[in-house]
Amino acid sequence: MTTLLLVEDDASLARTLRVSLGAHGYEVHVAPTGAEALARAAADPPGVAIVDLGLPDVDGVEVVRALRDASEVPVIVLSARTTQDDKVLALDAGADDYVTKPFGIEELLARLRAALRRAQPSERLAVVSTGGLVVDRQARRVERHGQTVHLTPTEWNVLEVLLRSPGDLVTQRDLLREVWGPQYARETNYLRVYVGQLRRKLEDDASSPRHILTEPGVGYRFVV
Amino acid sequence: MTTLLLVEDDASLARTLRVSLGAHGYEVHVAPTGAEALARAAADPPGVAIVDLGLPDVDGVEVVRALRDASEVPVIVLSARTTQDDKVLALDAGADDYVTKPFGIEELLARLRAALRRAQPSERLAVVSTGGLVVDRQARRVERHGQTVHLTPTEWNVLEVLLRSPGDLVTQRDLLREVWGPQYARETNYLRVYVGQLRRKLEDDASSPRHILTEPGVGYRFVV
DNA sequence: GGAGGGCGTCAAGGTTTCGTCAAGACGCGC
DNA sequence: GCGCGTCTTGACGAAACCTTGACGCCCTCC
C-alpha cells in the first residue's frame, strides 16, 4: 500500500480525494497547511505527494521545493491556474506533474501511476554493455575499452533515455521532452549536437556509428 | 581475494576466462556441468558466480535459480541468445546481470565489479586504501604517506559519505542531505569549500585531484 | 538537374558552475 | 572574557558547460 500525502486546505475536496484515492489502494494522509505537510513528510515519508498550490499559509511552490529537497518523493501539483509560467515554476521547483482544475479522478490516478512508475529505478540492469563499452548507471560511469570516459550532465541524460529501452526507437520528441523539457520538443538541433558528441565519445568510429543509430525524421536508438 | 565460480562447459572458453579473471584478482573455480556447480557451491560458497546458459546437462536458468535459492551469491549469466525473453527469464530466476556473447574481458570485469558492489552495499569496507592514502572508517582515522591527517568533523562526514560507494557518483544533493540535513540540499557552497579542504589534505596535488573527482553540475565521486 | 529538408560538424558566445580565499560568526574550553 | 578551532558566507577569476547559428553533405522529391 502506497502512502500518499495530500496537501489540501479545501476540506471538501480533501475528503473527496481521500475517499477516491483510498478506494484505489492509497493510504491517504491529509495536511491542510504547508507547515503541517512538511512536518508529516519528515515524520513519515510518503511514497507520493499531491500538493494544491492554493494554500493559505505559504506558497505551494515552496512546499514542493521543500519536499523535494528533503527527499526523492514524487510530487504532483494541483492548481486552478493554467498559465505556462505557473507550470514552469512548479516543475522547476521539482514537481513531477501538473494537474489543472477541474480534473477527473481517473486522470489523477493515471498521473499518480505514471509518477510512481518513473520514481522506481527504471531498469533492472544497472549495467549495460556491449563490445568494449560499459555503462554503469548506478555509478554513473561509462567505460570504453577499459578507460572511463567523461560525460557532461546533458550527454549523460540523453544516453540514459536511450538506454532505458536498448534497441527500441526513441522519438526525437520524447528525447527532447525527457532531457530538456516539454517546451523544447521541437529543438532537434540539440539532439544533433549531443548525439554527435556522444558518438565521438562512445563509438569507435563516430562517422559510422554502431550503437547510436539515427532513424531519419523519427528519432534515435541505442543498439547493443 | 574473491572466489568466483565459473559454470562453463566449453573448456577453451573456461581456460581463457580462468586466466583472465585470475590475473585480475579472482580465485576461479570451474564447473563444467550444472550438477558440479551446485555441489561446489554448497561445499565452498563463492563470492560471485558466472553461469553460461548453454550447459549440456541441465537448463542454465535452473542452475541460476538453485544457486540463488541456496545463497545470496550474485550471479552473472553468459548467453549467446539476446532476445528480451531470455533476459527476463534469467533475471527472474535471480541473475544479477546478463552478458551476451561475444563479450570483451573488460566488459565482464566491469560487470563483476558492479555485481559485487551491489551485493555488499551495507557491509562497508572498514578500511579503504589507495596509493599513499589509508582511510579507516571504524577508527575514524586517515593516513597519508604514513602520517595521520587531521580532519574536522564536517570534513570527515563528507569523506565518509563519498566512501560508502567508492567509484560511484554521489550527487550534490545527497551529499548535502547526508552531511548537513535536508534543508541544506541546495547549499552547494559548502561542498565547494569542504571538497577543496579535503583535497588539500588528502591529495598529492590538490589542483589535479586523483581521488576526489568533480562531476560538474552533478556531484562528486571518490575513486580508489 | 535543381531545390529543399534533414543530418552531422564545428566553433564562438554567453551562462552556469567550480575552486579558492578570507573575513566574520559561532561554540567551546579555560 | 579570551583564545582557539571550526563553520558559514560572500566574492572573484577560472573552468566547464550549454546554446546558437552557420556550413556542407546526403537524400528525396520535383
**How wide is the angle at C-alpha B85 spanned by C-alphas B81 and B88, nearest 5°?**
105
Tell whether the model's pLDDT for residue B121 goes beyond 60.
no
Closest CA to A75 of A4, A2, A180: A4
How would you classify the pairing of strands A133-136 and A141-144?
antiparallel
Per-residue pLDDT at B162: 95
Which of A77-81, A145-149, B154-158 comes out lowest in average pLDDT?
A77-81
Determine the average pLDDT of the residues in A9-33: 94
Contact across the interface for B99 and A132, Cβ inside 8 Å: no
Which segment, A139-148, A188-197, B85-94, is predicted with the most confidence on average?
A188-197
Which of A29-38, A54-63, A84-93, B27-36 comes out lowest in average pLDDT?
A84-93
Nearest Cβ partner for A153 among B168, B173, B218 = B218
State whether residue A101 sits within 8 Å of chain B by CB. Answer: no
Closest CA to B119 of B163, B89, B75, B87: B75
Q: Which positions in strand C are less than 7 Å from the protein's CB atoms?
A: 6-11, 16-22
Tell whether the model's pLDDT for residue A8 goes beyond 80.
yes
Per-residue pLDDT at B122: 46
Distance CA A29, CA A46 (A): 9
Contact, B93 vs B68, CB < 8 A? yes
For an interface test with A, the pick among B97, B112, B220 (most A C-beta atoms closer than 10 Å) comes out as B97
Determine the average pLDDT of the residues in A161-169: 87
Determine the average pLDDT of the residues in A203-207: 92
Q: How many C-beta atoms surround the C-beta of residue B49 within 10 A?
A: 29
Q: pLDDT digits over B162-171, tens only?
A: 998 888 999 9
State whether residue B153 sits within 8 Å of chain A by CB. Answer: no
Q: How far is the CA of A128 from the C1' of D25 (A)?
A: 33
Contact, A209 vs A203, CB < 8 A? yes
Tell whether the model's pLDDT for residue A215 goes beyond 50.
yes
Distance CA A84, CA A189 (A): 23
